[in-house]
């Protein structure tokens, strides 16, 4: 189907349709671009002959908002959007965000908290028996019992609270087609228990075989370590080749059953998904409201891969896209790139060619093609696996081809680069060309921390690896006569980070002369190893205790230490240094983080003298105070005198 999918009944009628097969309810505005899950799933369905209409950001307080198209023939599809609705709405400090990039004009408040649950309940209130299939990242990462940071409690599977029939987890293209075909043949939704990449509810598990029984929900609520044990079992079953059926018991003989993940897309299948006739922009109805800001980041970008075997503890990719790399062909990407160059507004710059990790452009090792990913070890952590294929040739060939296209001035690589993987490549050709052609002034990388005890819990390489990368990056820039810099992403308050580790990070910032404008405070989002550590106080991989900074004041100190040069952080930094026994970092030496501020002397207290102006205010502050004391008339005379002088 060319053109946008219908968003109202008039558009549906214009397509000659009296009833739709599926109605897709989403928390995002409708953007028909392959960076948006709603667009991919709906386009895949239409490619298989099904009709789909989009209800974007319905008014969840009005039952009628869900009835725009009437009852679909097969099912409602529900997604919170490209982000978990709670992450979309709230910062790590649980303050409401001012902007929603997935809404018209960036306006906030266009979707509810826990949107998947709210939309599903709204549908069920109106359509009692119509099948509801939920998906997207919010549903995917909440498919089993999970810790919810915003309510600070363990929550049951989102299937239980949403009232939906089936949950699709992961990317969903294969699962949604199999579900559609099953419903289309007349199979009752309650009998569709066989689709990979899905989760369903049942009262009877007698027909199951070769499954793993997880701890029941009530026992996990009573004992946090039970949840850590359950999570690790789930973590070890995220691979399509080796994953088992998982069963999570609930009271009253209810069960949530998770089928093994969908098989990864082949290159041919992934090409087919991205070759569908996307409009590559937002629906024109949003134009008068200012458009959809989120499109700007991806409008002129290419998605070359999915999945990630990096294994960072704070990342949910393992649970959502998996560790198996899935890549598109060079031909498919060049076809899309040529299309981009003909779009209105293209000025010659491809903003990105990548994915979760740009330089992972093939499977980690040959064994994965037959046996899947290893259950008992990571590809890069704690040390690179001997079987790891280290080769940037195919990705470099792709970048060269894109940058040689007519009309392309520059091709950026803005998605993540795994610097430890890059460093393993003995052939420096890719590194040289990355520096020469694919960055502009600065390269953003994610060491996250420098304290090895924290990095180990993060699943990141030792700090010595990042230092070696930084030295090599500098040497290449010098050889190419370029002045380009590294911009490191740093994280405060990750589990395992105490004040001593935070101070070590501050000293690193001091040594490299870097003043980060923003610092990411650790954000406990559903279904990550780090979030489990935060909630349970143990590492689910070995069940060893982990120090977790939860006190808001301590978290503020850790964040302030990274930005110790900011005068507003002075008192927090000073308090942290004194508390950690590091008063040696308060002074006038080069190694010190802050200088001591002058205090009121005892003799001044007795004589009634005013205390000295605090340091760090600057000359303008002192002059302003003097001018205020002079008074308006004398101030004018003084200014006139200055002019004559």
pLDDT digits (tens, 9 = 90+) for 349-378: 999 999 999 999 999 999 998 999 998 889
Cα atoms found within 13 Å of the Cα of residue 69, Cβ hemisphere only? 30
- The CATH number of the structural domain formed by 9-198 is 3.40.50.2300
pLDDT averaged over every residue in the chain: 92
Of 231 and 641, more confident: 231
Cα atoms found within 13 Å of the Cα of residue 603, Cβ hemisphere only? 0
Q: Alpha helix locations (H) across 90-213? A: 115-126, 136-140, 158-162, 173-184
Q: What is the mean pLDDT of residues 142-165?
A: 97
Q: Are the CB atoms for 132 and 123 separated by under 8 Å?
A: yes
**Model confidence pLDDT, tens digit, residues 193-229:** 999 999 999 999 999 989 999 999 999 999 999 999 9
Tokens 């009262």 appear where? 203
* 555: its two tokens: 């978290």
What distance in Å separates the CA atoms of residue 304 and residue 325, rounded to the nearest whole number? 10
Q: Are the CB atoms for 573 and 594 separated by under 8 Å?
A: yes
What distance in Å separates the CA atoms of residue 623 and residue 625, rounded to the nearest whole number? 5
Q: Is 406 helix (H, G, I), strand (E, B) or coil?
A: coil
Q: Are the CB atoms for 476 and 470 separated by under 8 Å?
A: no
Q: Are the CB atoms for 199 and 259 separated by under 8 Å?
A: yes
What distance in Å separates the CA atoms of residue 290 and residue 274, rounded to the nearest whole number? 27
Q: Is the peptide bond before 263 cis (omega within 30 degrees of 0)?
A: no
* 504: its two tokens: 């070590």
Q: Are the CB atoms for 594 and 560 separated by under 8 Å?
A: no
Q: What is the mean pLDDT of residues 230-240?
A: 96
**Burial (CB count <10 Å: 0-12, 13-18, 19+), residue 276:** middle
Domain locations in the chain as residue ranges = 9-198, 300-440, 450-596
* 177: its two tokens: 């087609």
Question: Angle 192-232-154 (CA atoms, 0-180°, nearest 5)?
Answer: 75
Distance set, CA 47 to CA 42, 198, 523 (Å): 9, 21, 38
* Number of residues assigned to the chain: 645
> Does residue 153 register a pLDDT over 60?
yes
Distance set, CA 611 to CA 386, 571, 615, 629 (Å): 65, 18, 12, 16
**Model confidence pLDDT, tens digit, residues 258-282:** 999 999 999 999 999 999 999 999 9
Domains 9-198 and 450-596 share a fold: no
> Does residue 448 register a pLDDT over 70?
yes
Q: What is the mean pLDDT of residues 69-81?
A: 98
What distance in Å separates the CA atoms of residue 493 and residue 556, rounded to the nearest whole number? 9
For 256, phi and psi rounded to 5 degrees? -105, 125
> Does residue 635 register a pLDDT over 70?
no
pLDDT of residue 639: 45
- Residue of 249, 245, 158 lying closest to 208 (CA atoms): 245
What distance in Å separates the CA atoms of residue 433 and residue 476, rounded to the nearest whole number? 10
Q: Are the CB atoms for 55 and 68 separated by under 8 Å?
A: yes
Q: Are the CB atoms for 234 and 267 separated by under 8 Å?
A: no
pLDDT of residue 450: 96
Q: Are the CB atoms for 138 and 79 separated by under 8 Å?
A: yes
Q: Are the CB atoms for 460 and 380 separated by under 8 Å?
A: no
Strands in 307-437 per DSSP E: 326-327, 349-350, 352-354, 410-411
Intra-chain end-to-end CA distance of the chain, in Å: 77
Q: Are the CB atoms for 162 and 132 separated by under 8 Å?
A: yes
pLDDT of residue 615: 43
Say how many C-beta atoms besides its own lie within 10 A of residue 612's C-beta.
Answer: 12
Fold exhibited by the domain 300-440 = Transcription Regulator spoIIAA (3.30.750)
Sign of the Cα pseudo-torsion (507, 579, 535, 93, in order): negative
**Burial (CB count <10 Å: 0-12, 13-18, 19+), residue 170:** buried
Q: What is the mean pLDDT of residues 390-404?
A: 97
Q: Are the CB atoms for 133 and 320 separated by under 8 Å?
A: no
- Which secondary-structure segment (H or E) carries 431? helix 429-437
Q: What is the mean pLDDT of residues 89-100?
A: 96
R_g of the chain, CA atoms, integer Å = 28
Q: Are the CB atoms for 573 and 595 separated by under 8 Å?
A: no
What distance in Å separates the CA atoms of residue 625 and residue 613, rounded to the nearest whole number? 10
Instruction: State percent of the chain over pLDDT 70.
Output: 92
- The CATH number of the structural domain formed by 450-596 is 3.30.750
Contacts of 629 (CB under 8 A, 6+ apart): none
**Model confidence pLDDT, tens digit, residues 555-593:** 999 999 999 999 999 999 999 999 999 999 999 999 999
Question: Angle 304-427-397 (CA atoms, 0-180°, nearest 5)?
Answer: 35
pLDDT of residue 599: 57
> Does residue 11 register a pLDDT over 50?
yes
Strands in 245-286 per DSSP E: 245-250, 254-258, 281-282
Q: Is 217 helix (H, G, I), strand (E, B) or coil?
A: helix
pLDDT of residue 517: 81
Say how many C-beta atoms besides its own lie within 10 A of residue 191's C-beta.
Answer: 9
Say how many C-beta atoms besides its own lie within 10 A of residue 16's C-beta.
Answer: 7
Of 264 and 1, more confident: 264
Distance set, CA 549 to CA 95, 216, 235, 577 (Å): 19, 28, 24, 16
- Residue of 161, 114, 166 lying closest to 135 (CA atoms): 166
**Model confidence pLDDT, tens digit, residues 594-632:** 999 875 555 555 555 554 444 444 444 444 444 444 444
pLDDT of residue 642: 42
* 319: its two tokens: 């649970």
Q: Are the CB atoms for 180 and 245 separated by under 8 Å?
A: no
Pairing of strands 211-213, 245-250: parallel
- Residue of 458, 325, 472 lying closest to 389 (CA atoms): 325
- Residue of 272, 280, 269 lying closest to 339 (CA atoms): 280
- Which secondary-structure segment (H or E) carries 535? helix 529-536
Considering only 237-246, 303-312, 633-642, which range has the smallest mean pLDDT?
633-642
Edge-first strand listing for the sheet containing 211-213:
52-56, 22-26, 75-79, 132-135, 166-168, 198-202, 254-258, 245-250, 211-213
């Amino acid at each position: 189907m060319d053109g946008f999918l219908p968003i109202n009944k008039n558009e549906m009628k214009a397509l000659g349709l009296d009833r739709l097969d599926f109605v897709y309810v989403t928390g995002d505005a409708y953007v028909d671009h392959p960076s948006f899950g709603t667009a991919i799933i709906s386009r895949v369905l239409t490619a298989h002959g099904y009709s789909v209409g989009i209800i974007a950001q319905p008014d969840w307080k009005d039952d009628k908002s869900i009835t725009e198209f009437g009852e679909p023939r097969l099912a409602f599809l529900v997604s919170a959007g490209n982000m978990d609705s709670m992450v979309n709405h709230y910062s790590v400090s649980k303050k409401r965000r001012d902007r929603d990039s997935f809404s018209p004009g960036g306006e906030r408040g266009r979707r509810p908290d826990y949107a998947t649950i709210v939309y599903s309940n709204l549908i069920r209130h109106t359509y009692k028996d119509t099948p509801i299939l939920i998906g997207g990242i919010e549903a995917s990462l909440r498919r089993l019992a999970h810790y919810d940071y915003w309510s600070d409690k363990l929550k049951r599977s989102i299937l239980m609270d949403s009232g939906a029939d089936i949950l699709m987890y992961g990317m969903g293209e294969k699962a949604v087609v199999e579900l559609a075909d099953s419903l289309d043949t007349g199979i009752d939704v309650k009998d569709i228990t066989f689709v990979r990449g899905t989760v369903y509810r049942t009262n009877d598990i007698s027909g199951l075989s070769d499954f793993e029984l997880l701890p029941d929900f009530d026992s996990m609520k009573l004992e946090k370590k039970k949840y850590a044990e359950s999570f690790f079992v789930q973590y070890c079953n995220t691979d399509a080749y080796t994953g088992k059926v998982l069963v999570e018991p609930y009271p009253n003989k209810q069960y949530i059953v998770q089928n093994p993940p969908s098989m990864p897309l082949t290159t041919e299948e992934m090409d087919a998904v991205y070759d569908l006739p996307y409009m590559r922009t937002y629906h024109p109805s949003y134009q008068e409201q200012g458009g959809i800001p989120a499109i700007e980041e991806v409008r002129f970008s290419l998605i070359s891969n999915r999945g990630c075997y990096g294994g960072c503890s704070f990342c949910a990719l393992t649970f959502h896209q998996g560790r198996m790399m899935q890549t598109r062909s060079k031909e498919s990407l060049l076809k899309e790139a040529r299309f981009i160059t003909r779009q209105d507004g293209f000025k010659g710059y491809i903003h990105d060619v990548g994915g979760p990790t740009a330089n992972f452009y093939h499977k980690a090792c040959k064994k994965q093609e037959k046996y899947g990913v290893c259950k008992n070890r990571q590809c890069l952590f704690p040390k690179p696996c001997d079987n790891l294929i280290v080769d940037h040739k195919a990705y470099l060939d792709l970048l060269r081809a894109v940058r040689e296209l007519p009309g392309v001035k520059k091709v950026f690589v803005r998605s993540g680069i795994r610097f430890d993987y890059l460093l393993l490549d003995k052939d420096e050709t890719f590194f040289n060309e990355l520096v020469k052609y694919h960055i502009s002034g600065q390269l953003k990388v994610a060491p996250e921390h420098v304290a090895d005890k924290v990095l180990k819990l993060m699943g990141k390489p030792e700090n010595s690896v990042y230092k070696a990368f930084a030295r090599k990056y500098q040497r290449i820039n010098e050889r190419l006569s370029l002045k380009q810099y590294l911009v490191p992403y740093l994280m405060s308050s990750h589990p395992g980070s105490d004040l001593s580790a935070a101070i070590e990070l501050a000293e690193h910032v001091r040594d490299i002369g870097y003043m980060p404008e923003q610092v990411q405070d650790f954000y406990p989002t559903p279904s990550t190893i780090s979030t489990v550590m935060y909630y349970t106080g143990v590492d689910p991989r070995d069940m060893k205790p982990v120090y977790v900074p939860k006190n808001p004041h301590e978290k503020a100190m850790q964040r302030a230490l990274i930005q110790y040069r900011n005068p507003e952080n002075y008192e927090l930094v000073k308090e942290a240094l004194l508390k950690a026994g590091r008063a040696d970092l308060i002074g006038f030496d080069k190694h010190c983080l802050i200088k001591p501020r002058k205090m009121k002397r005892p003799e001044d207290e007795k004589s009634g003298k005013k205390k000295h102006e605090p340091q760090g205010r600057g000359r303008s502050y002192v002059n302003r105070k003097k001018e205020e004391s002079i008074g308006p008339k004398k101030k004018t005379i003084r200014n006139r005198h200055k002019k004559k002088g």
